[in-house]
Chains A and B, each alone.
Chain A
């Protein structure tokens, strides 16, 4: 990892106060109510005691008399019970791909992923949600249990930094299928990866969503992956598989590379659309402020 171990999380992520104040006005977006482990600021699919009316139902013996709608009884001569939405906290799981491929790019894709994760953790924690950090590669090798409350922000940031400062051997989306073993219940999972892998990312994402998680995907690609600058004869070595590919990079081959990249991105985007997964592709060279305030909001990851 390229980060210097002596850096504090604040120095590592490079956030200033003004940026953090902007983040305080944001919240993580969810497409449907997510039941949480405790009361919180976020709507829950369960009916609760909030002030937000949700529905009516017939009265059953044992129900709380205080929730009977007396006006309806006067007009219809029947007993209806007024139901209100519950507001519960959500557990946000930041799934960070810290395989060797994430070290590439200028700045590195891993660093960009870490800073985005830090931004989202900040937004979640200052909104009374809980944040879990999971580092994965060929398996989930780092897992930091959920923490909540603003005081947890430095610890969570440190956890993110720790994850990204270590690397695994390769990327295998099958690792996401084991996330259920680390945490239970519904929640919001945000997957950070470059998706440059031969592993079955479809199965991984589908499994993650099958555990009741609302999933968002952030694909991070380096500028040289988006627009390769190499020309001529090269032996390209895959840093994860160690596999060499000899290429003579010609304009014709570059055109074919761009076609493959577009097809790969389109396949991920189409899969996410079908699965109700928010998807955003982020160049590692873009500024975090722009990502947080525009790209993530446009993709529906941040509300």
Chain B
């Protein structure tokens, strides 16, 4: 088991290395660089910048050096825990990440729990009551969940919240709680806001998970060991939950690794619409303003989280199904 985990971690290192190169190229792809954007901003404000300052800025950020050196500077500092400076927000990226990461993780993890808690029972129900009207209803809802764009769903919920409750559930906290210290009231306020992004981001993921769970369980129920279990006279409940469901869960765990990127994708757009204090919402401006350290750090952090998520999924799978250890 330990060897298996070790092997997985070792596999992740080159992947992360290539991801960082690709991410760096990507961030540097737009024509011009952030310094040009920055200087334009300064001159817009009426500040003139002399050549010497430009040179110092260039030297400070290593812009006068070739691309590969810039990359190693960036990744070296990144590994040391310094993610550079955000030009758009004029703050160290570390501070921004510290401020925005908790909400990002909160939204992501709650969404993950939501999709699983919804998908597994519904999937079981749909498979055991195949072609019943409820099964068909879930299929229709699932299809709609896949087809309605996240951002629009969010908007509709906002408008609905506004017309029904009189205020739109934007953000993660009501204004009076944003800077308040932690308290039960704050927690309740958080939960009042959190359901919107969780529902919006989670719907499409839930829809596809339900279909996978339903399909797997239907396959498993056709197998002979289920027939054996039934002929032994076991109660239907034990047949389903102890024998069938357990064996239908593996592909779902494997799906976990694929699900995380989807949740991050959904979270990025939904955060922008709902104005959530997550990394996704500042990422859009970072990309537009060529705030390269901020955007690059975002891509790196997300990928690291994904790799960690995959690792957890792999370990979970090995626990559930020890056969994977022996291939």
**Do A and B interact with each other, yes or no?**
no
